[in-house]
Amino acid sequence: LVERMRAFGTTIFTEMSALAVRTGSINLGQGFPDTDGPPEMLAAAAAALREGANQYPPLPGIPALRKRITEHEQRFWGLSRDPDTEVVVTAGATEAIAAAILGLCEPGDEVVTFEPYYDSYAASITLAGAVRRPVALRPGIGPQGRYGFDEAELRAAFGPRTRLVLLNSPHNPTGKVFTRTELTLIAELCQEYDAYAVTDEVYEHLVFTDAAEPHTPLATLPGMHDRTLRISSAGKTFSCTGWKVGWATGPAGLVSTVQRVKQFLTFVNAGPLQPAVAVALGLPDTYFTEFRAGLQARRDRLVTGLTEAGFAVQPSEGTYFVTADITPLAGSTIDGADFCRQLPERCGVVAVPTQVFYDHKQEGRHLIRFAFCKREEVIDEAARRLAKLA
């Protein structure tokens, strides 16, 4: 194994899901739904398989899917992209993120991102030989007592080697949705330092009605349309995380950069799933609102359970996740990683320590993450088990 990858062991999701299976625990660790997505989409995939859509699709994705991706962006975010030159279909958002970083960063270039960050970010930045410049999101310092960051810290993260900002909003694991004011500052810094923005918006449809603000794609801010690569994926929105159908949209230059790298990583992605995702992206607005409302109700159920169990629950404005401070339950000496490793034995529930998503582990030592993208009866049973901790 090359030196620069040695720090990357087994991902926390693999470790914690294996722990859940081994101990027979309820898995609120890895974020995947326990119900299937829209039946129209599943039927379309089955039909495509039978009808022989089983050979290599075109490199950038099938035209019908690219068209639907641009129509979806137009419908929800008012963004205008050319389906022929400004869209590429990828193996999940993960491949789009990796290909973007590998294609844009020279060794030594710097990537500004917020910590805690989704775990693939650090690995992709490292594979490219680039350097992370993480800015901490901290509970309580943002708008209305939510997660926020220090403006001076963000400014200090930018410099002459800044190549891009990698922004995830709605944000995993905190559930933070960046506000327009926060995004405006990020946009201004991108322009001042002539940096690109790569946005990970896989939770674009999962912003709850009590969020400080609705989701705003960074690409819609003044000056950002031509320097932002917007990444999303079908996995979260259509409850098909195992399909790994994602995409990137942006100016033709950025999209062709992703394509250049992507063609030698995977070349193309699952043929029969592409027409199915095209069907899903065309579902009426009611699908998206009902999906979000269902998750919001399950968030509320879990938050109630966690609060009753004694956790200091942090506000979650979106995504599949809520974070909780373990201090009231564990005292200040124990850390989240130990806490999560002991949780199955103590009460038969698996969660994820968020410290693994930080460079500055101390920042997230006391925080753990729970996923609520599970059936109500599963959440209720988890809450009953967690009540034993109090």
Q: Which residues bind ligand GLN (CB under 6 A)?
A: 11, 13, 30-31, 172
Q: Among residues 162, 239, 241, 355, which is the contact residue for ligand PMP, using CB under 6 A? A: 241
Positive or negative torsion for Cα 18, 23, 24, 25? negative
Nearer to ligand GLN, 60 or 318 (CB): 318
> Which of the choices ligand GLN, ligand PMP, none does residue 13 contact, using the CB cut-off of 5 to 8 A by kind?
ligand GLN
| Candidate segments 126-134, 238-246, 343-351, 375-383, binder of ligand PMP by CB under 6 A | 238-246
Q: Among residues 25, 94, 174, 228, which is the contact residue for ligand PMP, using CB under 6 A? A: 94
Label the pairing between strands 162-168 and 196-200.
Answer: parallel
List the x/- string, 115-134, binding to ligand PMP by CB under 6 A. Answer: ---x----------------
Residue of 60, 114, 110, 67 lying closest to 90 (CA atoms): 60
| Candidate segments 146-154, 155-163, 233-241, 368-376, binder of ligand PMP by CB under 6 A | 233-241
How near is the Cβ of 231 to ligand PMP at its closest, in Å? 8
CB atoms within 10 A of CB 115: 22
Question: For 58-181, where are the E strands, in sequence order?
Answer: 87-91, 110-115, 131-136, 162-168
Tokens representing residue 270 in the block: 């699952």
Nearer to ligand PMP, 206 or 221 (CB): 206
How near is the Cβ of 17 to ligand GLN at its closest, in Å? 8
C-alpha 180 chain-centroid distance: 19
In the three-class reduction of DSSP (H, G, I as helix; E, B as strand; rest coil), residue 382 is classed as: helix
Residue of 243, 240, 259 lying closest to 251 (CA atoms): 259
> Which of the choices ligand PMP, ligand GLN, none does residue 237 contact, using the CB cut-off of 5 to 8 A by kind?
none
Residues 4-33 that bind ligand PMP (CB under 6 A): 31
> Which of the choices ligand PMP, ligand GLN, none does residue 363 contact, using the CB cut-off of 5 to 8 A by kind?
none
> Which of the choices ligand GLN, ligand PMP, none does residue 93 contact, using the CB cut-off of 5 to 8 A by kind?
ligand PMP
Nearer to ligand GLN, 48 or 295 (CB): 295
Nearer to ligand PMP, 162 or 172 (CB): 172
Report the C-alpha dihedral over residues 177, 96, 30, 34, rounded to 10 degrees.
Answer: 90
Rounded to whole angstroms, how far apart are CA atoms 100 and 27? 32
Q: Among the residues of 84-225, which ranges form H helices? A: 92-104, 119-127, 151-157, 180-192
Tokens representing residue 94 in the block: 């993960």
Q: Among residues 37, 60, 142, 235, which is the contact residue for ligand PMP, using CB under 6 A? A: 235
> Which of the choices ligand GLN, ligand PMP, none does residue 130 contact, using the CB cut-off of 5 to 8 A by kind?
none
Place of tokens 């500055």: 360
Rounded to whole angstroms, how far apart are CA atoms 114 and 149? 9
Nearer to ligand PMP, 125 or 330 (CB): 125
The answer to the question of residue 202 lying near ligand PMP (CB under 6 A) is yes
The answer to the question of residue 196 lying near ligand PMP (CB under 6 A) is no
Nearer to ligand GLN, 48 or 350 (CB): 350
Tokens representing residue 133 in the block: 């410049």
Nearer to ligand PMP, 66 or 385 (CB): 66
| Residue pair 237/191 in contact by the 8 Å Cβ criterion | no
Q: How far is CA 133 from CA 3, 121, 160, 199, in A?
A: 20, 11, 12, 16
